Amino acid sequence: MDKKNTVIGALLLIAALASFYFSARYAPQQPVQPTSTATSGSPLATNQAPAAGPASSPSDATLSAPTTTVAAPAEFVTLANEFIAVKFTNQGGAIDSIALLKKAAHLDTAHKESAERYTLNAKQAAPALSLADFPGADRNVAYTLVSQTATEVVYRAVAHNLEVTRRYSLAKAPGLDDYQLRHETTFRNLSNAPLALPRAVFNLGTAAPLSDTDTGIYLNVGYYNGDSTEFVRRDQLASAGFMSSGPPPAFLDQPAAIQWASVKNQFFAMILTPDQPGVGVRVERVKVDPMQPAENRGAYGVTAYAQFDLKPLAAGASTTFGASYFAGPKEYKRLANTDVFKHHENEVMQFNTYPGKLFFSSFFAPLLLTIMTWVHSVVPSWGLAIVLTTLLLKIVFLPLTLAASRSAKRMAKLQPHMAAMREKYKDNPQKMQTETLRLFKENQVNPVGGCIPILITIPFFMAMFTMLQSVSELRFASFLWVHDLSAPDTIYSFGAVTLPILGLTHLNINIMPLFMGATMIFQMRLTPTPTTDPAQQTMFKVMPWMFMLFCYNFASGLALYSTINGLFTIGQQMVINRMPEPQLPINAGATPGTVKNVTPKKKK
């Protein structure tokens, strides 16, 4: 392999990986709308009938402000199917929490999935789908349970001249996913006069860190505006912004014609898809663990409120807001089902965000995941699926790799002749370029051929990097000594440390990245560079350590992929090294000293 070209490809990969690694942690703050801090005088504290007049916007206080005393204690009912158990509360007539019946909350002491199920919105700023800033119908109101069946629950509240009926259904129906429920809120004017309604603001749920060691870097709010999908990270509300010493914003308003909006962590999401587009989203950073100190990033979650304008109601008239609400794992195959999710809800996976889009991760990440999922349907282990997928990719690209290797071998044999030409034609660059191209053509050499193998791996490596930040399939998937392929394979921890620039909160011993680095070192020694350039030699020595640094505290599935890819490459290179040396044409095979100098002589 031509090491000079390989260095170029490796540098591209390292630069991209560095950008990818740090962008999720220290991306620049987006401009925020002017905000004010929460006050005890929030309109949420009022409980009066909506007055006639123009529709109002959310208040300038946080919508997650502490609730006032409700008229009755909380009462709960539950609807369940095979996949979810939805716990409803009369406070706001909304969703208290959603237990995912097929997803464990954590691993037990024996590194097996616990009996406890993972629950969305367990740590909450407000009940999911509760109304906010809607006097007489928000979460401060104790709704009456009107009816309950095995698949449906209905709540109702009456405030002066307005009746609000909230209906939730888990009935299996065409166009609904197993993790999806149907919701309708009906507003009915009980008076004999027209009634203007305030803006309907629905809480989307609260996304919290997955564990005590999760710093929450994947917590964000997303929404699709009909043209593009935008995301707001929790940490964008952790400070006032770059080079600013002011207090952090209390909330961030995002005006947009939203076709869906989501709140999510690394592996799970809550997605509201309304029947009619909304007018915006408000994002808030909320403390979900009061036992942790305020400076601990893991103590904070993120919540959001979807906003919808309601038309005035004529006397005795009613209007209904309808939506589907997904609460479940981020599984690409499920979310890509266009019979159910018709507005690009699969983009909640964030396969197409910077800098992954530079390497077409929106194409390669789903492709890689689809292949792995198909392989996993044949073999029982996700780790083995990664191994076999890597082998399959190596086989598919073997002809291209062999062609590149043959070209690189020819290039290596031409190095003495090229050096001689550079010396002979040093005063005639145009002639040197012409002769070099002729030499390449006669000997069937691609000058960038040595770079092709590593360029092939870059999109798939970046796709794996992108994919492991979102997919829930590998969560708690074990392989060999690895207990969770979606997390580092820590075998020992020295305890808490403070290394924020590397994104580290604990100093651990992780084995898989060390194996990955060892295979890279052996692979580079197997193919020693023909150059004596100290800079290139240093780069090849540093590269494995750079990869170990980037992958050390990341998902072990990525290190497994890179390790297996390296092992296959080593075996492949050993076979290539045993192949016969290429025979060069006689004219090009002359000794370097026979290259004739045709440089024009300077006139004295």
Whose tokens are 């203007």? That residue is: 196
Sorting pLDDT into bands at 50, 70 and 90, what band is 533?
A: low
Kindly report, residue by residue over 47-97, the tens digit of the pLDDT: 333 333 334 555 555 666 555 545 578 999 999 999 999 999 999 999 999
Retrieve residue 521's tokens.
């070192």
Give the residue, 321 or 596, on which the prediction is more confident: 321
Q: Which amino acid is at 201?
A: V
Number of Cβ within 10 Å of residue 540's Cβ equals: 20
3-state secondary structure 121-152: CCCCCCCECCECCCCCCCCCCECEEEEECCCE
Rounded Cα gap, residues 89 and 92, in angstroms: 7
Partnered with residue 329 across adjacent β-strands are 268
Cα dihedral 127, 209, 558, 269, rounded to 10, equals 10
Kindly report, residue by residue over 349-376, the tens digit of the pLDDT: 998 876 667 778 888 899 999 999 999 9
Partnered with residue 600 across adjacent β-strands are none
Rounded Cα gap, residues 481 and 470, in angstroms: 23
At 244 the pLDDT is 62
Lowest mean pLDDT among 216-230, 250-264, 282-296, 354-368: 354-368
**Is the CB of residue 548 less than 8 Å from the CB of residue 516?**
yes
Rounded Cα gap, residues 491 and 283, in angstroms: 38
Query: Length of the chain in residues, anyone?
Result: 604
At 24 the pLDDT is 44
At 341 the pLDDT is 94
Cis amide prior to 43 (ω within 30 degrees): no
At 62 the pLDDT is 62
Q: Which amino acid is at 502?
A: L
Kindly report, residue by residue over 190-199, the tens digit of the pLDDT: 999 999 999 9
Q: Spell out the domain ranges in the chain.
A: 76-350, 377-578
Is the per-residue pLDDT at 46 higher than 50? no
| DSSP code, position 233 | E
CATH number of 76-350: 2.70.98.90
Q: How far is CA 550 from CA 175, 465, 503, 538, in A?
A: 42, 11, 10, 18
Kindly report, residue by residue over 416-429, the tens digit of the pLDDT: 777 787 787 777 88
Rounded Cα gap, residues 55 and 58, in angstroms: 10
Give the residue, 356 or 553, on which the prediction is more confident: 553
Is the per-residue pLDDT at 200 higher than 90? yes
Rounded Cα gap, residues 56 and 266, in angstroms: 34
Which of 177-181, 403-407, 588-592 has the largest mean confidence?
A: 177-181
Rounded Cα gap, residues 137 and 185, in angstroms: 11
Is the per-residue pLDDT at 483 higher than 80? yes
